[in-house]
Amino acid sequence: MTEISQSGFMQSLGWAILNSLWQMALLWILFQGTIFLFKIKKSSYKAALAVTFLLSGFAWFIVTFISSHILTTESKISLFIIPASNYNENVYSGLNTFLPFASVAYLFLLLFPLIQFLRNYRFVRVIRAQGLKKIEKNWRTFIKKTADGMGINKPVHIWLSEKISSPVTIGYLKPIILVPLAAINHLSPQQLEAVLLHELAHIRRYDYLVNLIINFIRTILYFNPFVKAFVKTIEREREKSCDEMVVQFQYDPHSYASALLILEKGDYLSRPFALAASGKKSDLIQRIEIILGIQKRNSFSFNRIAGLLAGLLCIISLNALPIFSKPSKNNGNQLGNSLVFTDLSSPFLFPAGKETRKAEILNSEITSPQIKSVDQPKEQKIIRRHPVSKSAVVSQVSESDDKNQMASSFMNVNYKPETEIPQLKSYQVAQINDALSKSKEIFKESQWKAIEKDIADAMTSDEKNKFRQIYSDKISKMDLSDWKDKLSLAYDRIDWNQINEQLGDALFDIKLDSIQKSFSDAIMNLENLECQLIAFHTTGIPDSDITLQKIAEEKTGIQKALNQIKVLRSKKVIRL
């Protein structure tokens, strides 16, 4: 159970599922608002707009999942209206625990719509290959001439079929129109022509391909009611659009409407992937009214208003949670000024600036570290904050109590000496050792930055290097066995996925700082060399390939690399 709750994949899928509810609700409201504001009446435009919004919503779902699973914690894009960092720690931790189990339930239930999807696809494959008979030549000629007149470049084939009860269109690259024997017997030639024209309209509009895509999206997002609303709208408007094209070809509306009713009476098969002229039963009456030109006065649409209210309610409810569970302030300080990552459930403290930018993880000024309790028992209290001045850092490096200085930068887990240390598995012990090793490296580098600010120009470069070597030796000799025991006790209450992401992020910034410093030193050396060559009125050093032009090229290349690092550092990051 613990492995499921800490699974990064399951957590990311859970966030994507939760997000998709309000995302699709928002897109549904925008869709309805666009139709109302721009007074869109034409069915083909409504269908195209609905397809666009549905595809955008599915892409949004995929982006949400990827940004939550692949990208690092500091570079995640917040797809919430309210950033997830504003959640109360208990609420956010509870969601992270619950959502993986919701993902498991989603994947299990996904089997049923997926099986139905595959069965429908297999049915289309069967009727395409079995039970076919040649139709009379005059109908094949009609299909060819009409398709050419409609601008359909692909060859369209027509067959009689024993396995269907209403004319259908299947296929995208090689479209086929299948006509049941009953349609030949019960429809007049003019009625059958109108029905076949309806099917050709589907081919011209690429409806088979669109139908396959929207059914796939409906299968994946089967839990989302707004996806179903989009699909229903697309299916209804595309049938109306094809009906409009039949009427434009001057076919008798009454005769065509009668043909649709006849086909509906004999239609007993469900064909989600095949496009039938009769369409959905629930929409047929409305289609016939439009075909016959029966104008209805615009009345109050309860279903539309209910859909909009449901969308607004979904958006507000899913984004109101962070507002009412916003973390409280500690000792009057803003959360943004805290040195603790608000969503980090670990015994470590990393320096963090007011702005949540990747480059400021280690560059922020060292101020008062904060000691935080992780799931402490009720009878225990949070340890007070102990201020550490910058000048004290330098003096403590050379003293034997450096271990206590290291300990002040960790968050307390209220370890009781008398508590028995649990026996962890080998991979869990390795995980703790790796986290401690990385934390020690991060602590060493971040504290050295503070020391460098204090000593400034008080030491020469050689003296500074010797002093750093002494400092590094002291840090490397630190005994973290007590902290290893504390982590062992708190192992089950720590989000190790998030810990590893934070540690990896901080180590990445350390490497980035090192590279940037090396580049800056290289540019400085090149500039000094350039000044010397100019001072001696020479363009290069004899018997070498060092010239002013070569120096300028090297400076340009290094400057480009520095600019790329600065661009990376300047990108603001919002947590998901």
The gap between the terminal CA atoms of the chain, to the nearest Å, is 24
pLDDT of 244 > 70? The answer is: yes
Mean pLDDT of 103-131: 94
Residues whose CB is less than 8 angstroms from the CB of residue 9 and which lie 6 or more positions away in sequence, other chains included: 69
What integer pLDDT is reported at residue 272 of this predicted model? 66
φ, ψ dihedrals at 416, nearest 5°: -105, 120
Q: Is the pLDDT of residue 325 over 60?
A: no
pLDDT per residue over 74-99, tens digit each?
A: 444 444 444 455 555 666 677 778 88
- Residue 193 has φ and ψ, to the nearest 5°, of -60, -45
Choice between 319 and 497, residue whose per-residue pLDDT is larger: 497
Q: Which of 246, 273, 239 lies closest to 170, judged by CA?
A: 273
Cβ burial 103-141 (10 Å sphere, 16+ → b, else e): beebeeeeeebeeebeebeebbeebbeeebeebeeebee
pLDDT at 392 over 60: no
Q: Residue 504 has what pLDDT? A: 78
**């850092």: which residue's tokens?**
393
At residue 380, the pLDDT reads 40
Residue predicted with more confidence, 45 or 367: 45
Q: Is the pLDDT of residue 284 over 60?
A: yes
CA angle 105, 111, 112 (to 5 degrees): 105
pLDDT reported for residue 70? 72
| Span 123-166, pLDDT tens digits | 999 999 999 999 999 999 999 999 999 999 999 999 999 989 88
Is residue 170 helix, strand or coil?
strand
Residues 83, 322: contact at Cβ < 8 Å? yes
Cα 23 from chain centre = 11
Confidence bin at 270 (pLDDT 50/70/90)? low
pLDDT band at residue 106 under the 50/70/90 scheme = very high
Q: Outline where DSSP puts E strands in 332-428.
A: none
The DSSP result for 221-277, as a single string, is: TTT-HHHHHHHHHHHHHHHHHHHHHHHHTT--HHHHHHHHHHHHHH-----SSSEES
Does pLDDT of 540 surpass 50?
yes
In our burial notation (b when 16+ CB lie closer than 10 A, e otherwise), range 144-178 reads eebbeeeebeeebbbbbbeebbbbbbbbeeebbbb
